[in-house]
Amino acid sequence: MYTAKMNMQKHLKVEHVNKFLLQLIGTGLIFIALIVGQSHAAHAKTTRIKDIVDIESVRDNQLIGYGLVVGLNGSGDSLGNSPFTEQSLVAMLERLGVNVRGQNLNTGNVAAVMVTATLPPFSNQGAKIDVNVSALGDAANLRGGTLLVTPLMGADGEVYAVAQGSVMISGFSAQGDGGGVTQNVPTAGRIPAGAIIEREVDFNLEELQEVRLALRNPDFTTARRIAQAINGFSSAGLARAENGASVVLRRPSSYNGTIVDLITDIEQLPVQPDQVARVVIDERSGVIVMGSEVKVSTVAIAQANLTVKITETPQVSQPNPFAEQGTTEVVPRTDIEVNSGPDAKLTVVETGVTLQDLVTGLNRLGVPPQDVITILQAIKASGALQAEIETL
């Protein structure tokens, strides 16, 4: 009897332990599922380091040049109105052995242009880049023109590329005696692969021991997260946030690769960038862009448009027929109507509302974009808008 009782107690204990283990396993499974779900949610908000930073000194260089476009069908510069075009044409012909100095040139098939291009980093000599061509004089159309050999210089005055080729124009212009039509901009075009690189920018990245990662949107929190992500990738303490705009990346002596290899290893690391609550307003076009971190304290908003309508209905007053005296006079009649918006409503926006709540509330008021700009500036002036307003 005693033995049966002990066995029953053991059986109950084992069953109790099994239920407890099952509960633990179930809780653990739920916990793991929550972690996986949070990990996927967090990963969905992250961005690769390479998409939010630039490597210092790894940059483009702007090139510019002055040249001539020939072969235009009478739509080039008027040499009388563009003396620089005539001087350039005479100088070019003299270099080719043709002396026309002092002659009266009257051609409309030549146009002076400015040629611009961007020299990518680490571009090799002999590689080709695209160039943009823009008319400098009074040329009406560059369609069908060919750019002659044009040196492209950098900010230091050195020639880094030479451009030449047929100009591609996306617009056109047609003119008649009674009118004309113009689509896009026919005085600006592009030459794909129109310049050949003649000089390389001397910069050896692999020999550097450290580089700075420049944030495209400076932020202290983002800079710290980048440094933590890089240091979490390696325990050597490779990175440190120098300020809100840059992170210093150092190549340790124990690292077998170059700084290029190190950049390749860390640029794929995910980081969740942070941003300042900001409202960007373009008053000219009425465009309003608000970040997701914009918050508003409790504030009451009323929107009413004041409309003043003035109507003039002058009347003519004439003297009676056969009157000995009297003249015809114009008597003004003015009707003024003032409408201050009788349907205006006062809406209370509660504290801590999100961007969606604010937009929904303003839409319910039927507020047009131009009035939203004024309302946001008024909320900011009252101290109820926890965001920075930037006006373009």
Residue 279 pLDDT > 70, yes or no? Answer: yes
The pairing of beta strand 239-241 with beta strand 180-183:
unpaired
- Helix (H) or strand (E) holding 316, with range, is strand 315-317
Residue 322 in 3-state DSSP?
A: coil
**DSSP states along 75-143:** -S--TTT-HHHHHHHHHHHHHTT---TTS----SSEEEEEEEEEE-TTPPTT-EEEEEEEE-SS-S--T
Measured CA to CA, the distance from residue 187 to residue 137 in angstroms comes to 10
Give the mean model confidence (pLDDT) for residues 10-18: 44
Residue 15 pLDDT > 60, yes or no? Answer: no
Which pLDDT tens digit goes with each residue over 143-198?
899 999 999 999 999 999 999 999 998 866 666 656 666 667 889 999 999 999 99
Give the mean model confidence (pLDDT) for residues 8-21: 43
Q: Are residue 177 and residue 296 in the same domain, yes or no?
A: no
Contacts from 250-253 at CB under 8 Å and sequence distance 24+?
Answer: 250/209, 250/210, 251/208, 251/209, 251/210
Q: From residue 164, how far is each of 69, 111, 207, 260, 336 by CA, in Å? A: 9, 14, 36, 35, 66
Would you say residue 42 lies in a domain?
no
Lowest model confidence (mean pLDDT) among 88-97, 192-201, 355-364: 355-364
Q: Are residue 132 and residue 162 in the same domain, yes or no?
A: yes
Residue 361 tokens read as 């509330």
Measured CA to CA, the distance from residue 284 to residue 262 in angstroms comes to 46
- Percentage of the chain modeled with pLDDT above 70: 72
Lowest model confidence (mean pLDDT) among 165-169, 223-227, 264-268, 365-369: 365-369
Choose one of 137, 171, 197: the last residue of a domain: 197
For residue 376, give its domain range: 278-313+332-391
Q: Are residue 69 and residue 96 in the same domain, yes or no?
A: yes
Burial of 183: CB neighbours in 10 Å, binned 0-12, 13-18, 19+: exposed
- Provide the pLDDT confidence category of residue 352 given band limits of 50, 70 and 90: low
Mean pLDDT of the chain: 78
Stated pTM of the model: 0.64
Q: Are residue 105 and residue 157 in the same domain, yes or no?
A: yes
Residue 38 pLDDT > 80, yes or no? Answer: no
Q: Are residue 112 and residue 142 in the same domain, yes or no?
A: yes
- Percentage of the chain modeled with pLDDT above 90: 32
Q: Are residue 76 and residue 183 in the same domain, yes or no?
A: yes
Q: Are residue 183 and residue 302 in the same domain, yes or no?
A: no
- Provide the pLDDT confidence category of residue 33 given band limits of 50, 70 and 90: very low
More confident residue, 134 or 287: 134
Choose one of 218, 249, 271: the last residue of a domain: 271
Would you say residue 150 lies in a domain?
yes
Burial of 192: CB neighbours in 10 Å, binned 0-12, 13-18, 19+: exposed
Residue 276 pLDDT > 80, yes or no? Answer: yes
What total of structural domains would you count in the chain?
3
pLDDT of residue 339: 52
Residue 328 pLDDT > 90, yes or no? Answer: no
